[in-house]
């Protein structure tokens, strides 16, 4: 004959833990019907049994602001003006040397705007016979040119910008 089970303790009863231990409850309700998704952060999927650090989303690329573009344009413009000024000043009368040919860019006798040109060019109008450093005016300039270059025809003086000189010129 068999012995009946003790009253109050049925190890086969559903919903009870054996030996009277309380059943553990999940701290969070299951997400999406998945009982194994407990403790997961929303938006970051995990593989079952393989925890990994979530990959942060890719940062959007920074676009150049209007201020940055404006500053770049200003720097390029200033550099272009400086380079253009340097290139155009290389042909001025202050770079002329004896034997160079000159072209008169203006018909104004007070500011003839002489520039150095190639002597084979059709623009060449004058030849530099002498270049004398210093400040000269009127008859003193002509006297200096007569002493340096006897067959001069024209006198060009430049002063005021730190490089004072006198050019003695003749027609080409």
CA atoms of 152 and 128, how far apart (whole Å): 9
Residue 105's Cβ-count burial label (10 Å; 0-12, 13-18, 19+) is middle
Per-residue pLDDT reduced to its tens digit, 15-58? 555 555 555 555 555 555 555 555 555 555 555 555 667 777 88
Instruction: Enter the pTM of the model.
Output: 0.46
Contacts of 51 (CB under 8 A, 6+ apart): none
Whole-angstrom Cα distance, residue 116 to residue 102?
Answer: 5
Residues 92-132 pLDDT 10s? 777 888 899 988 877 776 677 788 888 898 988 999 998 88
* DSSP strands (E only) in the chain: 101-104, 114-117, 126-133, 154-158, 165-171
Rounded distance, CA 55 to CA 42, Å?
A: 14
Per-residue pLDDT reduced to its tens digit, 65-102: 899 999 999 999 999 998 887 776 665 777 888 899 98
Q: HSE (CB half, 13 Å, CA atoms) of 2?
A: 3
């Amino acid at each position: 004959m068999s012995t009946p089970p003790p009253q109050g303790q049925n190890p086969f009863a559903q919903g009870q833990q054996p030996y009277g231990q309380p059943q553990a409850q999940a701290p969070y309700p299951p997400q999406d019907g998945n009982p194994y998704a407990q403790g997961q952060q929303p938006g970051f999927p995990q593989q079952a049994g393989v925890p990994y650090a979530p990959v942060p989303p890719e940062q959007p690329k920074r676009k150049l602001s209007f201020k940055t573009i404006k500053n770049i344009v200003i720097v390029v413009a200033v550099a272009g003006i400086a380079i253009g000024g340097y290139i155009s000043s290389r042909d001025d009368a202050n770079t002329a040397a004896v034997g160079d040919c000159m072209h008169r860019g203006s018909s104004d006798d007070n500011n003839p705007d002489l520039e150095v040109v190639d002597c084979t060019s059709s623009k060449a109008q004058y030849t530099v016979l002498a270049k004398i450093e210093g400040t000269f005016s009127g008859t003193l300039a002509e006297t200096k040119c007569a002493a340096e270059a006897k067959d001069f025809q024209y006198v060009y003086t430049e002063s005021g910008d730190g490089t004072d000189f006198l050019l003695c010129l003749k027609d080409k």
